[in-house]
Chain A
Amino acid sequence: EVQLVESGGGLVKPGGSLRLSCAASGFTFSNAWMSWVRQAPGKGLEWVGHIKSKADGGTTDYAAPVKGRFTVSRDDSKNTLYLQMYTLKTEDTAVYYCSTGYYYGSRDFQHWGQGTLVTVSS
């Protein structure tokens, strides 16, 4: 059974930094494209960024609002995905989900974690 477990959320001041982790199990993590998706309170889903498998280049892509401030990385030896967030803004307040697709390399979001809440407030 696929499991994704996020951690690392919490309260941070504007301008601060935070690192989220996503522990994966139940599938071959190294083969999977992994994504972060967020949802602000009472709002819709917003794609944050992804990292491709090393076989597909291991490259990252980001949504415009976070590009240059957020970094997605992975440790295939630990089956763990990361989201390093810098220069946080109040509008980054959201539940952050990690997700992976229906099959390796698919561009959809089949499996989701439970989410971790990030609150950016002074």
Chain B
Amino acid sequence: QSALTQPASVSGSPGQSITISCTGTSSDVGDYKYVSWYQQHPGKAPKLMIYEVSNRPSGVSNRFSGSQSGNTASLTISGLQAEDEADYYCSSYTSSSTSVFGTGTKVTVL
């Protein structure tokens, strides 16, 4: 199972919106509605931001939203803030009953 493909880095100015893509296959992202997104600050454990493609856990800002089209899922951060600067990972359940993470994206707030 290969890692899902994410851009290595995405940047934006405060207040702007950015989108991170996560590309898989028909055996993972394209086959299940079990795509999730994680934010990780240096030295910290990851934090769940989106589950099941587009659902936000309680306590997560509504500036974060998720979507999916075919084999590609996306995370959009609107109204970018300095605290959003972090690494972001997608994950998907697979047809083999395993899970796989994305390659990770470093978000920089300019």
| Residue positions of A touching B, CB distance < 8 A | 35, 37, 44-47, 50, 61-64, 97, 101-102, 106-110, 112-115
Contact = CB atoms under 8 A, between A and B. Distances in A.
Contacts of A115: 45
A47 B92 CA distance: 10
Contacts of B102: 44
Contacts, number: 64
Interface residues of B, number: 26
Contact of B34 (A50, A108, A114): A108
A35 B99 contact: yes
Contacts of A97: 45-46
B34 A47 contact: no
Contact of B101 (A45, A61, A107, A114): A45
B57 A107 contact: no
Given A97-B45, A102-B48, A102-B51, A110 B99 contact: no
A47 B89 contact: no
11 contacts: A44-B3, A44-B102, A61-B97, A63-B1, A64-B1, A97-B46, A102-B48, A108-B51, A109-B46, A112-B45, A114-B45
B64 interface: no
Question: Which 8 A-B residue pairings sit nearest by Cβ, starting from the closest?
Answer: A108-B36, A112-B45, A107-B93, A107-B34, A44-B104, A108-B51, A47-B99, A45-B101
B91 A109 contact: yes
